[in-house]
Amino acid sequence: MSTTPTSTDRTKPAKRLTPPDIAAHKGQTPLVCLTAYSAPMARLLDGHVDVLLVGDSLGMVVYGADSTLAVRLDTMIDHGRAVAGASRHACVVVDLPFASYQESPQQAFRNAARVLAETGAAAVKLEGGSEMAETIAFLAARGVPVMGHVGLTPQAVNALGGFRARGRDAAEADKVLADARAVSDAGAFALVIEGTLEDVAREATRAVTIPTIGIGAAADCDGQILVTEDLLGLSGPRVPRFVKRYADLGSAVEEAAARYATEVRSRAFPGPDQLYRKRSG
Ligand SMILES: Nc1nc(=O)c2c([nH]1)NC[C@@H]1CN(c3ccc(C(=O)N[C@@H](CCC(=O)O)C(=O)O)cc3)CN21
Ligand SMILES: CC(C)C(=O)C(=O)O
Ligand SMILES: [Mg+2]
């Protein structure tokens, strides 16, 4: 008897979205993108998103640093492997961390190749515009799909003087537009535009041939991304303006911890169901 495969059929591998599938979304329905750093989160999000980004924001969100600068390539690879292994539908993209690609196209290729080979992810993301065009072309020509990232580039926090929105004056607006064009022309398959004035992000989206993925950018972008912990209420009281909270899991975690603490102290936990006892009778 033959059976019709359904989306819940786990006997066949699901067709995972590829970088070319993502690129084909230019001007189509918005791309849904979220960050994931762990296997359980990847499992929960995978059926709902097109892209899972293993972002170097994990340095701030998971490891508590005040910038992304100290994140190591090995850390990105460990988290990338967890996310790629626990997902089957989304296109998994891993951020190249600070100082793992800025030195030369050769350095970028060596480290991006490790990411693809050791994680199972399909693509890397790197920050920067015209100054990274040569590197993006070098990787793209050698089998490494690249997602770009312009506007507010957190790895340049020291050069930018803080996590502040870009494109506020004419010179900055021109720079973001030129960067977006350079990344697209260099052969990136998609482009994150972060923390950029709405008009500028909208114009950049019109100016490039690849999908733009906004975060604090514009609803007109070809997709949107947020840090998952931010929208779940798990990343602290102060979040960037561009975050919308869709749940308050922080409060749920605190309430669960408080109930557990009460039950341990009163010896209500563990109860009979949580203990190994000889069968009676
Ligand atoms: N949890 C988290 N969410 C993020 O979106 C995120 C990270 N971490 N870490 C890496 C980068 C850093 N990002 C940030 C961090 C802070 C602001 C921020 O505080 N912005 C202020 C405006 C500051 C100003 O203009 O002076 C804001 O109110 O949005 C923005 C982006 C975005 N990325
Ligand atoms: C916020 C996204 C775009 C990112 O680069 C990250 O999570 O590191
Ligand atoms: Mg990042």
Question: Of 211, 216, 228, nearest to 57 (Cα)?
Answer: 228
| C-alpha 153 chain-centroid distance | 14
One-letter-per-residue 3-state SS of 166-204: ECCCHHHHHHHHHHHHHHHHHCCCEEEEECECHHHHHHH
Residue 124: the pLDDT is 99
Q: Please indicate whether residue 229 is annotated as part of the active site.
A: no
* Rounded distance from Cα 157 to ligand 1 centre (Å): 10
User: From CA 76, how far away is CA 80, in angstroms rounded?
Assistant: 6
Please list every protein residue whose CB sits less than 6 Å from any atom of ligand 2: 35, 53, 55-57, 95, 149, 192, 194, 215, 225, 227
Q: What confidence tens digit (pLDDT) does each residue in 162-174 have?
A: 999 999 999 999 9
Domains in the chain, start-ordered, CATH in brackets? 19-248 (3.20.20.60)
Give residue 120's Cα distance to chain centre: 15
pTM here? Answer: 0.94
How far out from the chain centre does Cα 211 lie? 15
Distance of alpha carbon 132 from alpha carbon 156, whole angstroms: 13
* Contact present, 47 and 28 (Cβ < 8 Å): no
- What are 166-220's pLDDT values in tens digits? 999 999 999 999 999 999 999 999 999 999 999 999 999 999 999 999 999 999 9
68 CA closest ligand 2 atom index: 8
The active-site residue out of 103, 134, 194, 198 is: 194
223 has a pLDDT exceeding 50: yes
Average pLDDT over residues 24-33: 96
Q: Is the pLDDT of residue 7 over 60?
A: no
The helices-and-strands tally (H runs, E runs) of the chain is 11, 8
Q: Say which residues have a Cβ less than 8 Å from residue 103's Cβ, sequence separation at least 6.
A: none
- If residue 212 lies in a helix (H) or strand (E), which one and from where to where? strand 212-215
Read off the tokens for 201. Answer: 């992000």
pLDDT computed for residue 3 by the predictor: 46
Which residue of 34, 95, 125, 163 sits with most ligand 1 atoms within 8 Å of its CB, as the best mutation to test the pocket?
A: 163
Distance 14 CA to ligand 1 centre (A): 35
Distance 50 CA to ligand 2 centre (A): 15
